[in-house]
């Protein structure tokens, strides 16, 4: 068996912690009433978001009918924690709160467990009010499910609602993540309905919630050893097999992630 290691950033954590430049380009798809809105947005609303939209901390893209083509659906809206009252617009604790809140609600909305949401091509993004609305006291958050991840150049269209999308087992390959390349690292992440030679098959737990970060080397070695056994079991213990693994770093650990992803070299 040969291990192929990958050290990609988690889609879910990156969406929570990475803050890009503020503002939104008016490309004709912006609702002027939403731009500096103090009132929270509507839960259940659908939009056509792009990776460029998701890179920004606030969003005022026009709402569309969910029966028409859309790439995002708002699954959670609420108030930021009390600490946000006096926090800076880009305070780190807001990203940590968003990760914990949106990731939990994301699993519930899709009907999935922790393992499945780390192995799906859909992900989530969160938005806060604009800086002008923040100065006026707006302190809400918005969590959207999106039809793609951190590496996506464009997002796939979602069904009329993504509620329960991953509840059915086995899950539809259209929504599960595979890769096509000589190794997991650097290979494009694609739906498993497309030609592939790697499939994310399991995840493994590398720590408990209260554990301090043990360091990159410990996490990688633990991931490698666990994934070797886990993928072997998934494949039915063949005499030889290739496996890969995706492990995450201290930033993701602090945000709450305690899992690594195991990949099998397979076309099925």
Residues, the chain: 268
Q: Which residues pair with 259 in a beta bridge?
A: 205
| 88, 89, 134, 208, 236 from 53: Cα distances, Å | 22, 18, 19, 34, 43
Radius of gyration of the chain (CA): 19
Residue 218 CA, chain-centre distance (Å), reads: 24
Q: What percent of the chain has pLDDT over 70?
A: 90
Beta bridge pairs of residue 76:
143
pLDDT confidence of residue 92: 86
Helices (H), ranges, 43-183: 51-54, 92-110, 114-117, 131-135
Estimate to the nearest angstrom the gap between the alpha carbon of 190 and the chain centroid: 14
Q: Cis peptide leading into 170, omega within 30 of 0?
A: yes
Mean pLDDT to the nearest integer, 151-156:
90
Helical ranges in 111-203 per DSSP H: 114-117, 131-135
Residue in the structure block whose two tokens are 């609305």? 133
Note the pTM of the prediction, 2 decimals: 0.84
Average pLDDT of the chain, as a whole number? 88
pLDDT tens for each residue of 185-231:
888 889 999 999 999 999 999 999 999 999 999 999 999 999 999 99
Cβ–Cβ < 8 Å for 244, 228? no
Residue 41 pLDDT greater than 80, yes or no: yes
Q: What is the pLDDT of residues 82-120, one digit of tens each?
A: 999 999 999 988 988 998 899 999 999 999 998 999 999
35 and 9 Cβ atoms separated by less than 8 Å: no
């Amino acid at each position: 068996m040969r291990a192929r290691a990958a050290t990609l950033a988690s889609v879910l954590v990156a969406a929570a912690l990475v803050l890009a430049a503020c503002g939104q380009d008016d490309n004709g798809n912006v609702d002027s009433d939403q731009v500096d809105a103090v009132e929270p947005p509507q839960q259940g609303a659908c939009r056509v978001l792009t990776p460029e939209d998701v890179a920004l901390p606030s969003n005022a893209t026009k709402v569309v009918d969910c029966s028409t083509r859309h790439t995002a659906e708002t699954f959670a809206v609420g108030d930021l924690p009390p600490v946000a009252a006096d926090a800076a617009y880009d305070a780190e604790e807001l990203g940590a709160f968003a990760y914990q809140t949106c990731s939990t609600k994301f699993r519930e909305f899709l009907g999935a467990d922790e393992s499945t949401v780390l192995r799906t091509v859909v992900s989530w993004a969160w938005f806060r009010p604009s800086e002008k609305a923040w100065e006026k006291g707006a302190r809400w958050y918005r969590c959207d499910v999106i039809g793609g991840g951190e590496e996506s150049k464009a997002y796939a269209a979602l069904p009329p609602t993504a509620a329960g999308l991953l509840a059915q087992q086995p899950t539809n390959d259209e929504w599960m993540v595979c890769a096509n390349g000589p190794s997991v690292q650097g290979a494009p992440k694609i739906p498993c309905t497309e030609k592939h030679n790697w499939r994310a098959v399991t995840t493994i737990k590398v720590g408990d919630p209260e554990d301090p970060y043990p360091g990159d080397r410990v996490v990688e070695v633990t991931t490698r050893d666990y994934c070797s056994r886990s993928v072997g079991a998934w494949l039915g213990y063949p005499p030889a097999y290739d496996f890969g693994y995706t492990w995450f770093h201290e930033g993701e650990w602090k945000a709450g992630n305690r899992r690594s992803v195991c990949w099998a070299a397979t076309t099925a």
